[in-house]
């Protein structure tokens, strides 16, 4: 088998992302264990299309109630541009520090997106969400009860605010929205439904996100699932996974099964490679690494079922 370096894995993932977005109508969810390279894939892809994407990092989730402005800023517009995205992607800031605009903060622009934030929030939470000015301060109310913003509300409001400002001020309207760890700080219920919700409310955009939420995978539809492991990448049609049992089976197979759990270490590796080659052939995203692994499989001692699967993949590859 062709042994892939970390750089090979990142390059292959970026290639697949680009092809899915160009050749299908699917949005993409990327999953993988910690240190599998999910965030680096999103960063690398965003850097390649920095003028055509809006990137929200995992650290861009705060929404400080005490900083919410009650009056319009004197500045005409926030710096929502590829420049801001490039700064977010800088190595010293990426995954480390929250950055908005030109050393700005998103709460300062609250008067611009207030109505839309309330509309989006009421619809998503199915509660009477409102912001009210009391003695010069903006307070938060749920069903007429004053509340402090939990981390869950903060994360949701920040995403809604950023996407609303992006829609209003970003000059490029045909964007890929890239969000790292979309479920960060969200409750299990909210994490399950947020992906479908933002796609329906901001349907002019394509979306690429990472997540650790199995519930999100089940409750979402019409997406491509990219699974990253330390030495391999596999893609699936997300519509195949409509129950938590199916997702948990996939997770257990990918992240919790060791080669020692199988009768044959060699069979385990060959089965995994064949499964990935089959998925890539069916999805149409065949890479140079896949070609090399197909040659590797040819020279192995295969079981009867493996030979049949190899022959089928090879036949499709020749078409």
Q: From CA 166, how far away is CA 46, in angstroms rounded?
A: 16
- Sheet-wide strand order for 145-147: 129-134, 137-142, 145-147
| Closest alpha carbon to 13 in 287, 291, 314 | 287
| Same domain assignment for residues 284 and 231 | no
Beta bridge partners of residue 139, listed in sequence order: 132
| Same domain assignment for residues 264 and 129 | no
Whole-number pLDDT of residue 283: 65
The count of structural domains within the chain is 2
Task: Give a yes or no: residue 306 inside a domain.
Answer: yes
- Residue that terminates a domain, selected from 256, 272, 299: 256
- Residue that terminates a domain, selected from 256, 278, 310: 256
Query: What is the Cα gyration radius of the chain?
Result: 22
Task: Give a yes or no: residue 52 inside a domain.
Answer: yes
Range list of H helices, the chain: 6-23, 38-48, 82-88, 110-125, 151-169, 188-201, 214-219, 244-251, 265-283, 288-298, 304-317
| Same domain assignment for residues 175 and 315 | no
| Same domain assignment for residues 132 and 61 | yes
| Same domain assignment for residues 286 and 164 | no
- Specify burial of residue 54 (Cβ count, 10 A radius: 0-12, 13-18, 19+): buried
Maximum pairwise Cα distance, the chain: 77
Task: Give a yes or no: residue 275 inside a domain.
Answer: yes
Helix axes 151-169, 110-125, angle to 10 degrees: 120
Distance of CA 262 to the CA centre of its chain: 32
Q: From CA 5, how far away is CA 11, in angstroms rounded?
A: 10
| Same domain assignment for residues 37 and 153 | yes
Q: From CA 4, how far away is CA 208, in angstroms rounded?
A: 24
CATH number at residue 14: 3.40.50
| Same domain assignment for residues 182 and 100 | yes
| Same domain assignment for residues 298 and 154 | no
- Cα dist from 270 to 12, 287, 294, 302, 303, whole Å: 20, 18, 10, 8, 10
| Same domain assignment for residues 308 and 166 | no
pLDDT, tens digit only, all 319 positions of the chain = 455 688 888 999 999 999 999 999 999 999 998 788 999 999 999 999 999 999 999 999 999 999 999 998 888 899 999 999 999 999 999 999 999 998 899 999 999 999 999 999 999 999 999 999 999 999 999 999 999 999 999 999 999 999 999 999 998 888 999 999 999 999 999 999 999 999 999 999 999 999 999 999 999 999 999 999 877 888 999 998 888 888 888 877 766 655 444 444 444 478 778 877 877 776 666 777 788 888 888 888 888 767 877 887 877 665 4
Give every CB contact of residue 16 below 8 A, 6+ residues apart in sequence. Answer: 226, 233, 235, 285, 287
Please give the residue range of the domain that contains residue 185: 6-256
| Same domain assignment for residues 65 and 141 | yes
Task: Give a yes or no: residue 286 inside a domain.
Answer: yes
How many other β-carbons are positioned within 10 Å of the β-carbon of residue 224?
A: 23
How many other β-carbons are positioned within 10 Å of the β-carbon of residue 95?
A: 15
| Same domain assignment for residues 67 and 134 | yes
- Residue that terminates a domain, selected from 256, 272, 291: 256
Task: Give a yes or no: residue 1 inside a domain.
Answer: no
- Cβ atoms of 39 and 9 within 8 Å: the answer is no
Whole-number pLDDT of residue 263: 43
| Same domain assignment for residues 103 and 115 | yes
Whole-number pLDDT of residue 257: 57
Q: From CA 44, how far away is CA 9, in angstroms rounded?
A: 12
Give every CB contact of residue 136 below 8 A, 6+ residues apart in sequence. Answer: 70
């Amino acid at each position: 088998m062709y042994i892939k370096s970390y750089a090979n894995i990142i390059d292959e993932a970026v290639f697949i992302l680009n092809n899915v977005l160009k050749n299908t109508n699917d949005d993409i969810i990327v999953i993988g264990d910690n240190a599998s390279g999910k965030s680096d894939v999103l960063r690398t892809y965003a850097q390649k299309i920095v003028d055509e994407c809006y990137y929200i990092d995992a650290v861009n989730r705060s929404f400080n109630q005490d900083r919410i402005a009650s009056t319009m800023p004197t500045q005409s517009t926030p710096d929502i541009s590829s420049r801001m995205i490039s700064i977010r992607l800088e190595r010293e800031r990426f995954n480390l520090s929250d950055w908005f605009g030109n050393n700005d903060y998103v709460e300062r622009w609250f008067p611009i997106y207030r109505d839309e934030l309330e509309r989006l929030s009421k619809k998503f939470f199915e509660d009477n969400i409102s912001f009210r000015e009391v003695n010069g301060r903006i307070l938060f109310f749920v069903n007429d009860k004053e509340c402090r913003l939990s981390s869950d509300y903060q994360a949701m409001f920040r995403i809604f605010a950023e996407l609303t400002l992006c829609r209003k001020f970003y000059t490029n309207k045909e964007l890929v929205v890239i969000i790292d760890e979309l479920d960060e700080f969200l409750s299990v219920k909210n994490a399950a439904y947020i992906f479908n919700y933002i796609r329906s409310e901001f349907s002019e955009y394509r979306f690429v996100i990472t997540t650790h939420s199995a519930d999100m995978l089940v409750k979402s539809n019409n997406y491509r699932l990219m699974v990253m492991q330390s030495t391999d990448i596999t893609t699936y049609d997300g519509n195949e996974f409509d129950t938590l049992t199916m997702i948990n089976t996939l997770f257990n197979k990918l992240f919790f099964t060791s080669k020692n759990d199988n009768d044959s270490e060699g069979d385990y590796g060959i089965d995994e490679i064949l499964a990935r080659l089959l998925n890539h052939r069916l999805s149409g995203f065949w890479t140079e690494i896949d070609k090399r692994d197909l040659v590797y499989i040819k020279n192995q001692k295969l079981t009867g079922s493996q030979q049949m699967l190899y022959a089928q993949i090879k036949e499709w590859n020749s078409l």
